[in-house]
Each structure stands twice: as structure tokens, then as C-alpha cells.
Structure 1
Amino acid sequence: MYIVPTPIGNLLDITYRAINILKKVDYIITENIKHTSILLKKFSIVNVLLSLNICNEHKKTKKYVNMLQSGSNIALVSKAGTPVVNDPGYLLIKESYYQKIRIVPLPGACAAITALSASGFKTHQFCYEGFLPNKHTACEKKLFSLYNETRTIILYESPKRLIKTMKLIKKIMGENRKVTIFKEITKKWENIQHGTVKKVLSTIKNEVAWKKGEITLVINGSNPIKPNIISKKAFKIFHILEKIMQKSTAIKITAKICGFNKNILYNTIIKKNIT
């Protein structure tokens, strides 16, 4: 089975080897038949397309493994980019290894890696987190868990949630944390914004264009500094204040009284709530 990356926007980004494989295999398994058909038509490729998506992955995996065991050569593609990276196919590959079927990965397009290379942040160590949780509380906890992450962080995000997510990053990681946001990377309407969270948020929040398209968000890693130790006295003051006012206001007042940075105090309190 061949794992074949396809373009994430510009169809000319496909490799000669990928085209050759897609022409020669017996079947092409794809996340989106309609989308892949456009790619095949562009390069005059005629082949049989089979479906594999999040809805039928468990059901179809055994069928496709049987086809591979019978001697068929199959190419696995996603809607765009490198298969399995935030897309279906993991179960098929796992089962194929179990059945001793040869797996042949091809290099090619991947939005996360393409964005990382142009982020302006360190690339020798990074972590890929995919999409953040949909629910606000879970999203907040996830971002807090990444607060002290020293590696460059790569996320995918929906354009509908982008502004909300950026505001959460500002709240939890601070307005001076640097980010690079990529909209429709490699496509005609590609747009890249780089700078502090405050600056980038100010640029995109009123731009209608940022409400559409595919978004890749790269966050600069945290500087490894010694954490401020919050005293028991500070927590005591905070707990008294939060009974008579909003938590955010209580944090600001406590931080001012005790001489702490309000973001550090906020993150410490959130962590205690998590654990």
C-alpha cells in the first residue's frame, strides 16, 4: 500500500512519483472521492476510487486489507496533504502492518510542516496538536497545558473559531507571545500574518477574508524561565475576593496586592483547578 500525499492547494505541488503511483495502482482509497476526482482529471489519471472517511473507517478497513492480501496494489490519499495526519487511515495502516502488508510512504505536501518552515520560529523541535477541543473549557485547559511548552506549537483551526481561539491564547499565554497564522497556504488567496498575539489579532479580527478558508496556526514556544512561586497568602486573598466578585477581577486585585504578574497567577489558579 502506498501512502500518497496530494497538494494542499496548488495542484502543481504534486510530485512526479505521486502521479506515477496513482496511475499504476489497482485502486485509490480516498477521504473525499469528489475532491480527488478533480486532482485525477487535472493529470489525466483514470483509476477506481474507493471511500475511506471517519464515518466508514472501521467498516471498510477489513475489506481493504483483504484486497491488499489478495495482491492488489492500493494508494491511500486524503482530501489534501499527507494522509493520516489529522485524517482517516491510521486503522488501515495499523492493520496492514499486522497482516505483514508492505507500506510505502511517499514524501509530499503537509500544511503543518509547510507552515512550520515559514513560521520564523525554531524548527529543530516542535509539537503538532491538530485541532483544539470544541468545548470552551476543554480548549482553555489544552492551551494552559501548552503554556510552558518550549517547542514550537502547530495547530489547525476553523476560521469560524479563529478569533475566539486567538483571544484565548492572548488571555492564557499573554498578548506578547509570538504567532504566525497561515490562511489558505499555497493557494491563490494565501495570507500570512506574523507578530505578537496582540498585533496579529488586531490585524485579522475585522477582516472578512479571515472568516473563510483553512487555517494553520503556529505559536512560538515558551522561554524556559523559572516559575514564580505563588504564596499561600496570595491564594488566601484570592479565595476571599472571588466570593464577592468575578474571578478575573479577583485575580487582577490579588496580583496587584501581592506583586505577581496577573497571567502567572491566572495560569497557576487554572492549573490547580485542572489537577
Structure 2
Amino acid sequence: MADFGAQNVSAGTLYVVATPIGNLEDISARALRVLTEVSLIAAEDTRHSQRLLQHFGISTPLQACHEHNERDQGGRFIARLLAGDDVALISDAGTPLISDPGFHLVRQARVAGVRVVPVPGACALVAALSAAGLPSDRFIFEGFLPAKAAARCARLESIKEEPRTLIFYEAPHRLLESLRDMGKIFGADRLAVLGRELTKTFETLKGLPLGELSDWVAADANQQRGECVLLVAGWQAPEGESAVTAEALRVLDLLLEDLPVKRAAAVAAEITGARKNVLYQIALERKG
């Protein structure tokens, strides 16, 4: 793996600055200071960010850095950084690069030896996870699911048996479709939490099994508006007979006709790949 370039001590610093996802009080004092002191702010949407800066009385110049120009225009920001100017990177809301532009600029900066400094703050996925009541010690972030149904279902199938808490961003006009596909693939009883309009006036945190959550969203058009985070409980391995395939049970039953319980379970496990201790418990129940 190629190393990033050695740090260029004469270059400026690229600050990756988190901004509020809704409530403006969530911006940090450090973020405000950095945005005031840098020479230039690279913003996802300059019109949107200008309103934020005006609110806090910040007059630092803005230039666009969005998904359509980031690869081509990133060089102009690198040129400013190599000339010794400090630059701040912000997205429309939350932490840059988390399902937002910025990756290419940060990578270019590191390759050029520019110091990159995170200024942490609001992030919708972390905010939702912190209040969802789902396991937070291990989780995966899947970003936005594919817009087309076939591709979306294929992605969901690929993580159907992922044991960690699953986190998705979803566009409001696709929220109901995604919930229905999740219920179909993960099972209607799998617990999920919808985080909508977090930190804003109409903030919602609703936890229900996927089937019920889908019905709840379908019945209230207001829940199909705004910024959405979906969290889904991780897959749990079934226990008892439901954890064993029908073929494994058939083999076990045949072996029990001629072998002691312990031996029958061991041989069935070797043949089918099922867990021996589970087969042993089932065999005891069969004989009992």
C-alpha cells in the first residue's frame, strides 16, 4: 500500500469541520473559530453555507466543493494550501465525507503532504445511534441504499445475516419503499428505529418491528419528509431446531435409529456441518 506524502511544513492546514445537522446551537466554539480564521472555506453548497456563516457573523470567502466538481477542482484548493493558506472543508450539514463530498480533496491533501485536521461535531448517524436503544458497541454504516428496487434488494440480501446494528441514510421519497424491502428481506419482526429531522423542530425517533414501522410511516405522510436515518437491529442466529436445516434433521433421525444419541449427533454434525451441541440437544429431545 502506497504511503501518503511526507508532511509539507510550509503548507497550510486543511480543516475538516463538522457543522450542525439542524439545531445551530450544536456548532462547537472551535468550529466557529476555525471558520473565522481560515483563508477559504470549501463548501458543498455555497448558498446554503452562506446562510450559516451569516448567522454567526463569519465573512470568510466560500468556494464550491461538491460531488460534481471535487475531482476536477480539488487542485485549486491544494494550490492554496501549498501556498500556505489554511482551508476549511464543510458540507451542507454534519461531518464532511460521511455520505457527503470531500474524500478526494482530503486524499489529495494528504498525498501532497498537507496536514489534515478534523474538527469534530454533529453527525446524523452517531446522533441517531446514541438515542436508538439498539446495540452500539458494534455497527456498520451502509450510507444510502441503491435507488432501484432490484439493486436495493440485492444489497439488503448481502447483509441479511450481519450481526452488527445496521445504519442507513435514506431519501424521504424512498423511505417507505426501503422499509418494505427491509421487512421482506430481514423479516417483519426485526426491530428498527427511524430517526427523522434530528435536532430540528419535528424530530422523530420511532422504534418498532419493521412491519409495524412500515405501516406507521405509510399512515402518516409527515413521516415521509425531511432527513432520515434508519437503524436496524443486527441478525441473531436462531436457536434450537430452527437453527438446523431440514436436511440435518433428516440425517440425525436416520442415525438415531442405529446409534447412541451422542454418536448420532457427532456423525450428523460431520455430515451436514451443523453445530454438534445443537444436534445433541435435539437428539436428546427426540429420544426423550
Global fold match (TM > 0.5): yes
Question: Counterpart of 1:193?
Answer: 206
Query: By how many angstroms is 1:202 displaced?
Result: 2.0
Q: 5+ residue gaps in structure 2?
A: 1-13, 249-288
Which residue number in structure 2 is paired with residue 243 of structure 1? Answer: none
Q: Measure the CA separation in 1 of the matches of 2:210 and 2:159.
A: 15
Distance (Å, rounded) in 1 between the aligned partners of 2:246 and 2:73:
53
What SS does the corresponding residue of 2:185 show, helix, strand or coil? helix
How many Å separate the matches in 2 of 1:98 and 1:173?
Answer: 41
The corresponding residue for 2:245 is: 229
5 Å-filtered alignment, 1:12-161, equals 12-161=25-174
TM-score, L = length of structure 1: 0.82
Query: TM-score, normalization: structure 2?
Result: 0.78
How many Å apart are 1:231 and its aligned residue?
4.9
Partner of 2:15: 2
Deviations, residues 75-104 of structure 1 (Å, cap 9, x unaligned): 000000000111111011111111110011
Rounded Cα–Cα distance in structure 2 between residues aligned with 1:9 and 1:167 = 28
Cα displacement (A) at 1:50: 0.6
1:180-202 deviation digits (Å, cap 9, x = unpaired): 00111110111111021122122
Equivalent residues, number: 232
Cα deviation, 1:144-169, whole Å, max 9, x if unaligned, reads 11110000010000111111111111
Counterpart selection for 2:181 from 157, 168, 191:
168
1:225 shift after superposition: 3.8
Amino-acid identity (%): 35
1:190 is matched by which residue type in structure 2? E
TM-superposed CA distance for 1:224, in Å, is: 3.0
Preserved contact between residue 132 and residue 205 of structure 2 (Cα < 8 Å):
no
The 1:228/1:158 distance shift into structure 2, 3 A limit, reads: farther
**Cα deviation code 1:99-152 (max 9, x no counterpart):** 110011011000011101111111110000000011111100111111100000
Q: Which residue of 2 aligns with 1:180?
A: 193
Letter in 2 for 1:229: T
Query: Which residue of the partner structure matches residue 217 of structure 2?
Result: 204
Q: Cα deviation per residue 1:27-57 (whole Å; 9 max; x = unaligned)? A: 0000011111111111111110010011101
1:182 and 1:230 map into 2 onto residues whose CA distance is 39
Q: Secondary structure at the match of 1:113?
A: helix
Which whole-Å CA distance do the structure 2 matches of 1:218 and 1:66 have between them? 40
Q: Tell me whether 192-201 or 214-223 shows the greater mean CA deviation.
A: 192-201
- Between the aligned partners of 2:53 and 2:122, the Cα distance in structure 1 is 16
Counterpart of 1:123 in structure 2: which amino acid? Answer: S
- Partners in 1 of 2:207 and 2:65 — Cα distance? 36
> Matched residues in 2 for 1:72 and 1:229: separation?
63
- 1:79, 1:192 → 2: CA distance? 22
* Paired residues of 2:144 and 2:170 also in contact (CA < 8 A): yes
- CA distance in 1 between partners of 2:244 and 2:34 (Å): 56
What SS does structure 2 have at the residue aligned with 1:161?
Answer: helix
Query: Does 202-211 or 81-90 show the bigger shift?
Result: 202-211
Higher-Rg member (1/2) = 2
- 1:221-256 Cα shifts (integer Å, max 9, x gaps): 111347543659xxxxxxxxxxxxxxxxxxxxxxxx
